Structure 1
Amino acid sequence: MKIIVPMAGRGSRLRPHTLTVPKPLVPVAGMPIVHRLVRDIAAILKQPIDEVAFVIGDPAFFGPEVEQSLTELAESLGAKGTIYRQDKPLGTGHAIMCAEPSLSGPAVIAYADTLIRASFELDPEADSVIWTKKVANPEAYGVVKLNEENNIVELVEKPEEFVSDQAVIGIYYFKNVDELRQELQYVLENAIINGGEYQINDGIKRMMTKGKVFKTGTVDHWMDCGNKTITVETNAKMLNFLHQEGESLVATDITLENSEIIPPCSVASGVVLKNTTVGPHVSIGANTTLENSNVKNSIIQSETTIKNATLEEAMIGNKVHFDGAFKKVSLGDYSELK
């Protein structure tokens, strides 16, 4: 089994946090988004992963440190890590084709801007499985249309009339991903463009016309990391799940001086808390110091110093120095408020 992860986008909606760090590497609940996504997919598949192929963007932004992080992620699963580049943002179908040498055999394709919780089994009768989530407002999403056998027969983007309440979340399984490769090759060669880009859906629709069987795999929870507010909400949800599952979230080498951690929280190695209360739903990166502060429902990254602060629904980057009484903030890397 392979996992293909297109992740070349810059994550502009999450700025300033993505000005220096690619969005998939922004930490949520103590782990970069893409790391948690790939690990969760591997756990659901319950079979050996041979390769994880990442499609990343501009080398000036996705540099050697990013490549090393992704390669180590693949190797931690016993898989080969492969890096491809998408030089121009030409759509989801184009991004997948940038990994063409890896498009063979069974594979999962997953876009690295979402997190999930799921426990379903892949349908062995299906040529492909499109992972979906039941939503209350399907008109805001791309959804699947099902026939009487519960096979997917159509993909409909933001339907004005009810089609189904199963929204496509951007994760797909293909029994033989080479079949998708062939159809996307046709899409590129014939300049089939929607929304100004080459789309994975056009390759999937061509597979459907040839009789390929598509099934749904419904996830229990689908969490976005699109902007600061939603990412903070996702952080809280993930901390709840991990706490319930008994995962150890607080490092053993932190310093607590007249301080309290209210679970669930993720607190990384080297954190120092002085006269401070954190939690619930706080993630703190390595070697960060908080003094005389009260923080809840927030994400604070690594090597940051915060003093005299009352924070809620905050997202603060790496190497930040913050001293103040602001409650709702969004600070990027290397910012200072004194």
Structure 2
Amino acid sequence: MKAVIPLAGKGTRLRPLTLSTPKPLLKVAGKPVLSFILDDLVQLGIEEVVFIVGYLREAVEAWISQHYPDLLAHYVLQEVQDGTAGAVALAEPYIDSDVLIVFPDAVIEVDYGLIRSLHPGCGGIIWAMEVENYQRYGVIVTDDAGYMARIIEKPSEPVSKLANIGLYYIRDHALLFEGVRHTMISEPGKAGEFYLTDAFQYMVDHGSRILPAPVEGWWDAGKPETLLETNEHLLLSGHGGVDPGATVDDAEIQEPVRIEAGAVVRGGRIGPNVTLESGASALNCELEHTVVGPDARLQRSRLHHSIVGAHSRVCDAAGSLLVTDHSVVEGRA
């Protein structure tokens, strides 16, 4: 089994953070979102991954090479942002077996063991969850046996609240790419893009049985506010704590927090839901619902619902901030 991970998007909903950092490399609980995904794939036994790259591709490729050197990685440039089907189409020359397709928009918890136990007559799995804001998703309508009958991208009417989350296992890779090619020569969707979900519909219409499977957890990382919510969930789920190599002097700590080795806290109050990465410092600060990148320096600041990039300096600031890497913010706290 191989994997395909589309990474070419610009992450516009996360600007200005993504002006310098690729969206999949933004961190929650001290770890890039992409790393949570790749760790799962490695544990699953996947050794070969096709990365569809574009925006800030050099940073993405360098990070993968450094942190996953044993992974056989193929990098394919998506020059035109023409949708999810367009991205996956670029992987076809590298896929000659069953394939896992993962869109790195969230931290996901699923039972990958379903792949091994999948009935031989099934063509694949679409992981899905019940949502209320169905208009934002591709939603799945099932038949009486529980298999996918239709998938509708961002419907205006509540035909279903079972939303696909961007994680797919496809056993019949040949029919998948036949469906992708058919989609690419059809009329594009509302936004002028070609949707991978139309390729899945093609597969079903040509006799494939695709099974919707439940999601144990899905934590969005596509917007600043959801990134912070995901950070809190992870801190509460075993990724928090104060590292013995951190320095904390005369400060109030309100769990959950993650204070990494080399971080320095003097005075003030930290938490709840605060991550201070390695080398970061917070001197006489009050921080809550805030992520602070490595080697950032904060002084006399009162921040909430903020993300501060690596190597940044924030002094005498108050309120909610989004600060890119290597930036300087000076205010009047």
Question: Normalising by the residue count of structure 1, what TM-score does the alignment of the two structures yield?
Answer: 0.89
Report whether the alignment pairs 1:79 with 2:66.
no
Alignment of 1:141-152 (within 5 A): 141-152=137-148
SS in 1 for 2:118: coil
**What amino acid does structure 2 have at the position aligned with 1:16?**
P
Q: Distance in 2 between matches of 1:111 and 1:149?
A: 27
Work out the number of aligned pairs and report it: 325
User: Quick one: which of 142, 167, 174 aligns to 1:171?
Assistant: 167
Query: Partners in 2 of 1:333 and 1:256 — Cα distance?
Result: 24
TM alignment of 1:167-246, pairs within 5 A: 167-188=163-184, 190-194=185-189, 195-241=191-237, 243=238
8 Å Cα contact 2:29/2:240 also seen in 1: no
Deviation, structure 1 residue 260: 4.5
Query: Does the CA-based 8 Å contact 1:142-1:167 persist in structure 2?
Result: yes
CA–CA separation in structure 1 for the residues paired with 2:192 and 2:314: 42
Partner of 2:124: 128
Counterpart position of 1:53? 50
Aligned with 1:87: secondary structure?
Answer: coil
Distance 1:109 1:73 in 2: 21
1 or 2, which has the higher strand percentage? 2
State whether residues 109 and 171 of structure 1, in contact with CA within 8 Å, keep that contact through their aligned partners in structure 2. yes
What corresponds to 1:314 in structure 2? 306
Which amino acid letter does the alignment assign opposite residue 72 of structure 2? K
Q: Does the CA contact (< 8 Å) of 2:290 and 2:303 recur in 1?
A: yes
Structure 1 distance, partners of 2:263, 2:91, is 39
Counterpart of 2:85 (choices 73, 93, 101) is: 93
SS in 1 for 2:155: coil
> Is the Cα–Cα contact under 8 Å of residues 240 and 256 in structure 2 kept in the other structure?
no
In 2: Cα distance, 1:283 partner to 1:211 partner: 49
CA contact (8 A) 1:30 1:267 kept: no
AA paired with 2:3?
I
Matches of 2:324 and 2:252 in 1, distance apart? Answer: 26
Corresponding position: 1:114 with 2:106: yes
Quote the residue 1:62 is aligned against.
57
CA drift at 1:139: 4.1
Task: Determine the C-alpha separation between the residues in 2 that align with 1:72 and 1:317.
Answer: 20
117-126 vs 290-299, greater mean Cα deviation: 117-126
Which AA in structure 1 matches 2:138?
A: G
Secondary structure in 2 matching 1:178:
helix
Structure 1 residues 253, 101: CA separation in 2 closer, same or farther (over 3 Å shift)? Answer: farther
5+ residue gaps, structure 1: none
What is the letter of the counterpart of residue 266 of structure 1?
A: R
- Residue in 1 aligned with 2:329? 337
In 2, Cα distance between the equivalents of 1:205 and 1:163? 16
C-alpha distance after superposition, 1:164-184 (max 9, x if no partner): 321111111111333312321
Cα deviation code 1:145-195 (max 9, x no counterpart): 00110000100233344333211111111113333123212333x254223
Alpha-carbon distance, 1:113 to partner? 1.4
1-side partners of 2:259 and 2:329: how far apart? 23
Are residues 3 and 17 of structure 1, via their aligned partners in 2, closer, same or farther at CA, if it must alter by over 3 Å? Answer: same
Structure 1 residues 12 and 175: alpha-carbon distance in aligned structure 2, compared to 1, 3 A threshold? same
Q: Percent identity?
A: 27
Residues 17-36 of structure 1: matches in 2 within 5 Å? 17-36=17-36
Quick check: 1:131–1:172 contact (8 Å CA) kept in 2? yes
1:71 is aligned with what amino acid?
S
Distance in 1 separating the partners of 2:18 and 2:126 = 29
Give me the whole-angstrom Cα distance separating, in 1, the residues matched to 2:284 and 2:52.
Answer: 43
Preserved CA contact (<8 Å) 1:28 1:231: yes
Contact preservation (8 Å) 2:244, 2:261? yes
Gaps of 5+ in 2: none
Match of 1:104 among 93, 96, 110: 96
Alpha carbons of structure 1 residues 252 and 100: separation in structure 2 relative to 1, 3 Å: farther
Deviation at 1:211, TM superposition (A): 0.6
Shift in CA distance, 261/49, structure 1 to aligned 2, threshold 3 Å? farther
Is the contact made by 1:152 and 1:213 (CA closer than 8 Å) also made in structure 2?
A: yes
Separation (CA, whole Å) in 2 of partners of 1:212 and 1:191: 20
Does the 8 A contact of 1:120 with 1:217 survive in 2? no
